[in-house]
Amino acid sequence: METSTLTPITSGVFKAREQKRRSLFSHIWNELIPKVFEDVPQYYRSGNILASFGLWEVWVWQFIRTIKLKPGYQALDVCAGTNDVGIRLLQKEPGITVTAIDRSKEMQEEGQKRATKYKVKIESIIQDVHTLPFADNSFDVITLQAASRHLEMDKVLLEILRVLKPGGHFYHCDMLKPSNRVVEWFYLRFLRVSVALTALVFGSTEASRNCGEYFKDAIQHFYTPEELTEVFELVGFTNVACKKSVWGGMVGYHNSQKPG
C-alpha cells in the first residue's frame, strides 16, 4: 500500500503548517467548537464510543496504560473535557493530585459530576489552554488527549513544556493523520459519516451536526504520528517515543520528557 511522502518538520515547516491551520480553522475553533462543547457533555463519552464503533474505550485504555505514575505526583490534564482521563489516572494511582484545565465550563461541570460519582477529587480551572495559569516547573505529568487537532500546537506545546518539571513526562494521544495514503482516504470519509451518524442518534444541535466536514479537514491538515514526533523534538521535548494504533496510525500515543 502507498505511504505518504513525509517532509521533515523543520522550524520553518512547522511555522508554515501552523499558520495554515490557523488560516483554515481559527473561526471554527473560536465560534463553532465552543458551541459544540455546550451541546455534547452529557453524551460525550457514549458519542465517541458510537462514532468509533466501540474503539474509543480501547484507545483510552491503551493511553492510560502508557502513563507512569507515583504517589505524590502533581498531574495536569489539558483540555480535560469531562475528566475521563483524570478519573482514570486517580483510579490507577490514588496518591496523585490531578488538576483539570479546559475552556468549556459545560464540559467541566459534567466532569465534576463524574468525579463526584467516582469519588475522586479533581481541581477544575476554566481557561483557554494556550496560556496556562501555572508557574514554571509545576507538574510531574501532563496529559493531552483527543484535543490537539483543535489547538494551535506551536503555542500550547511551549506552554506545556514550560509548566512541566525537568524530567517530567508529557503524554499525548489523539486521532492523527494516517501515514498510509490509502488508509487516509478511507479514514477521512469514515469520519464524515460517523460524525453525522452520532449527531443524528443523539439529537445534536446544528453546531454539532455541522462538524463532520471540519473533523475530516482537521485530520487532513494535522500531523502523522511520525511528524508529531518531530514536532515534539523541535519544540524541545526529549526521549520522544511514539506508539501507533493499527490501520496506519489513525491514533497515536506519544510519551516525551522535559530535559532535566
3-state secondary structure 106-121: HHHHHHHHHHHHCCCC
- Write down all domains in the chain, each with its CATH number in brackets: 11-254 (3.40.50.150)
* Runs of H (alpha helix) within 67-205: 84-92, 105-117, 153-163, 181-201
pTM: 0.89
CB distance 243 to 236 below 8 Å:
no
DSSP state letter for 1: -
pLDDT at 153: 98
Q: How far is CA 149 from the centre of its chain?
A: 7
What is the structure's pLDDT at 178? 82
Distance between CA atoms of 222 and 215, rounded to whole angstroms? 11
- Give the pLDDT score at 197: 58
Determine the Cα angle at 116 with ends 198 and 94, to 5°.
105
Q: Which amino acid is at 175?
A: M
Q: Count of residues for the chain? A: 260
Q: Are 113 and 49 in contact (CB under 8 A)?
A: no
Residues of the chain with pLDDT under 70: 1-6, 41-55, 188-189, 191-212, 246-249
Q: What is the pLDDT of residue 181?
A: 76
pLDDT of residue 195: 63
Phi, psi of 32 (to 5 degrees): -80, -50
User: H helices then E strands: how many in the chain?
Assistant: 12, 7
